[in-house]
A and B are shown apart, each in its own frame.
Chain A
Amino acid sequence: MMARAVLTVILGLSLCLVGPAASPLARAAAPPTVLEPEVPLAHSLAAFRQAVRPGGPGKDGIPAIDRPRFESVAEADAWLAPGDRVIGLQRDGEARAYPQRILVWHEIVNDVVAGTPLSVTYCPLTGSALGFRRGDGTFGVSGRLVNSNLVMYDRATDSEWPQLLGVAIDGSQAGRGLVAERLVWTTWGAWKARHPGTRVLSRDTGYVRNYRRDPYGGYNPRRGYYLPDSGRLFPVMAEDARLPPKAMVLAFREAGGAAAVSLPALREAGMVRLTLGERAYVVIHDPGLDTGWVYRHPQGQDIDPAALRFGPGGAGGPGGEALTSVPAFQVMWFAWAAFHPDTLLIGEGGTP
Chain B
Amino acid sequence: MTALARLLAALFSRPATLAMMAATTLGYALLFLWLSGDIAGGGRGGVHLSLTAWQRMFESRGPLRFEPVGLVELGPWVWTFSPLDTLIALGLGLLLGGNLAGLWLARREPAACPRRAPRAAGLAALPALLAGGACCAPLLVVWLGLPIAGGLAVLAPWLIPLACLVLLLGLVRLAIGRNQQGSEGRGGGS
Contact = CB atoms under 8 A, between A and B. Distances in A.
Interface of A: 4-5, 8, 11-13, 15-16, 20, 53-58, 61-63, 104-105, 107, 124-125, 143, 145, 206-210, 212-213, 215-217, 224-225, 230-235
Interface of B: 37, 40-42, 52-63, 65, 67-71, 78, 80-81, 133-139, 141-143, 145-150, 152-154, 156
- Which of B53, B136, B147 is packed against the most chain A CB atoms within 10 Å? B136
Given A4-B54, A8-B55, A210-B80, A56 B137 contact: yes
Contacts of A208: 52-53, 56, 67-71, 80-81
Contacts of B147: 231-235
B162 to A, nearest CB: 16
Contact of A53 (B78, B141, B153): B153
17 contacts: A5-B54, A8-B55, A12-B58, A53-B153, A55-B136, A56-B135, A56-B152, A57-B61, A105-B135, A124-B135, A208-B67, A209-B80, A225-B145, A230-B145, A234-B136, A234-B147, A234-B149
B70 A56 contact: no
B52 A54 contact: no
Contacts of A234: 136-137, 147, 149-150, 153
B61 A231 contact: no
Contacts of A232: 147
Contacts of A213: 40-42, 78
Nearest to B70: A208
B54 A215 contact: no
A8 B153 contact: no
Contact of B135 (A4, A5, A107, A217): A107
B142 A216 contact: yes
Given A56-B156, A210-B40, A62 B58 contact: no
Question: Does more than half of chain A's interface fall in helix, strand or loop, or is it mixed?
Answer: loop
Contacts of A13: 58
A124 B61 CA distance: 17
Nearest to B69: A208
Contacts of B142: 215-217, 224-225, 233
A57 B65 contact: yes
Contacts of B80: 208-210
A212 B71 CA distance: 12
Contacts of B138: 56
Contacts of A57: 61-62, 65, 135-136
Contacts of B135: 55-57, 62, 104-105, 107, 124, 215
Nearest to A224: B142
B42 to A, nearest CB: 3
Contacts of B57: 8, 12
Nearest to B42: A212
Contact of B153 (A5, A56, A107): A56
B173 to A, nearest CB: 32
Given A57-B65, A210-B80, A233 B149 contact: yes
Contacts of B149: 56, 233-234
Contacts of B68: 207-209
A107 B142 CA distance: 18
A233 to B, nearest CB: 4
B63 A233 contact: no
Please give me the 10 A-B residue pairs with the lowest Cβ-Cβ distance, nearest first: A12-B58, A212-B42, A215-B134, A233-B149, A55-B136, A208-B68, A57-B62, A61-B61, A231-B145, A213-B42
A217 B149 CA distance: 16
Contacts of B61: 57-58, 61-63
A230 B141 CA distance: 12
A5 B55 CA distance: 10
A231 B139 contact: no
A335 to B, nearest CB: 13
Contacts of B71: 208, 210
Given A56-B62, A124-B135, A230-B145, 5 more contacts: A15-B59, A53-B153, A57-B62, A210-B42, A212-B78
B69 A216 contact: no
A105 B148 CA distance: 21
Given A56-B133, A225-B142, A61 B58 contact: no
Nearest to A210: B78
B50 to A, nearest CB: 8
- Which of A11, A62, A207, A232 is packed against the most chain B CB atoms within 10 Å? A207
Contacts of A224: 142-143
B140 to A, nearest CB: 11
Contacts of A206: 53
